[in-house]
């Protein structure tokens, strides 16, 4: 029996729908009265774990789940040792640098050396500015990072952007994009290589399902 790690949050409903299309029904998680964190498919084929998105690659890397669905942003941030098998093409967003619209900065390279950048994606932010050869102080924030520039605590933020509405409503603008992010299918490398519990077959079925557009971006 395979175990799938499912992410709470923005990717959750689409992940459920995609897996349903290949015969893995974990829709019991959608019951608002349910407090279950682990359920079994009615056919007894697989079970699923409901975890924070940031924890999905951790459960897969350590083998408590053989498959997982998670955003590319999380994969980049966690740098987990998992097999990144497919771009599922939903949950589209981007990792961006943003500043106050009233500031003079219009490119990341215009930020002052040793300036401050607030982000919950500390690894991604640090890697980006290191590649630019621009020394900055990364301030870890895990709530509303938009408050960094608003309060003057930071010159910029690095954060996920979907529609851009939150930035706009808080007087911020994007000045650069680090990378695009979508949902990814990941697997435990050894389980995938050994085809444990016919894992490769499930992977192929899921790939076929997203190819025919079961879930629209």
Domain that holds residue 105: 93-180
Give the tens place of pLDDT for each residue, 7-66: 999 999 999 999 999 999 999 999 888 899 999 999 888 999 999 999 999 999 999 999
> pTM for this structure?
0.91
Helix (H) or strand (E) holding 47: strand 46-51
Taking each helix axis from N to C end, the angle separating 199-211 and 12-21, rounded to the nearest 10 degrees, works out to: 110
Radius of gyration for the chain, computed over Cα atoms and rounded to the nearest angstrom: 19
Please state the domain count of the chain. Answer: 2
Q: 67 and 173: one domain?
A: no
Considering the domain boundaries, does residue 192 fall inside one?
yes
Considering the domain boundaries, does residue 73 fall inside one?
yes
Q: Residue 32: its pLDDT value, please?
A: 87
Helix (H) or strand (E) holding 126: helix 122-131
Q: What share of the chain is helix, strand, coil (3-state, %, to 5)?
A: 35, 30, 35
Other Cβ atoms closer than 10 A to 112: 11
Give the tens place of pLDDT for each residue, 124-159: 999 999 999 999 999 999 999 999 999 999 999 999
The per-residue pLDDT of the chain, averaged, comes to 94
Q: 42 and 147: one domain?
A: no
Q: 31 and 137: one domain?
A: no
The span from the CA of 45 to the CA of 207, in Å, is 18
Considering the domain boundaries, does residue 217 fall inside one?
no
Q: 105 and 50: one domain?
A: no
Q: 10 and 38: one domain?
A: yes
Structure-block tokens of residue 81: 């040792």
- pLDDT of residue 215 exceeding 90, the answer is no
Considering the domain boundaries, does residue 109 fall inside one?
yes
Backbone angles phi, psi at 66, to 5 degrees: -90, -25
Q: Whose CA is closest to 2, among 152, 216, 206?
A: 206
Q: 9 and 86: one domain?
A: yes
Structure-block tokens of residue 186: 């990941």
- Region 165-194: mean pLDDT is 97
The answer to whether 67 and 5 have CB atoms below 8 angstroms apart is: yes
Structure-block tokens of residue 80: 């987990």
Which domain CATH number covers 6? 3.40.190.10
């Amino acid at each position: 029996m395979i175990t799938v790690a499912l992410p709470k949050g923005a990717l959750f409903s689409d992940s459920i729908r995609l897996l349903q299309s290949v015969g893995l029904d974990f829709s019991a998680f959608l019951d608002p009265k349910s407090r279950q964190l682990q359920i079994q498919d009615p056919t007894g084929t697989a079970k699923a774990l409901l975890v924070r998105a940031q924890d999905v690659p951790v459960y897969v890397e350590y083998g408590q789940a053989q498959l997982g669905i998670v955003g590319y942003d999380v994969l980049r941030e966690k740098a987990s040792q998992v097999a990144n098998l497919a771009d599922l093409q939903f949950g589209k967003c981007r990792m961006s640098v943003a500043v106050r619209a009233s500031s003079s900065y219009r490119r990341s390279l215009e930020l002052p050396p040793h300036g401050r950048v607030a982000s919950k994606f500390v690894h991604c932010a640090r890697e980006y500015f290191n590649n630019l050869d621009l020394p900055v102080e990364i301030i870890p924030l895990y709530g509303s990072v938009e408050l960094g520039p608003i309060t003057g605590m930071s010159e910029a933020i690095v954060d996920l952007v979907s529609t851009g509405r939150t930035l706009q409503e808080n007087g911020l603008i994007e000045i650069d994009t680090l990378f695009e992010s979508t949902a990814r299918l990941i697997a435990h490398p050894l389980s995938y290589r050994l085809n444990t519990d016919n894992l490769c077959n499930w992977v192929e079925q899921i790939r076929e399902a997203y190819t025919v557009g079961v879930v629209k971006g």
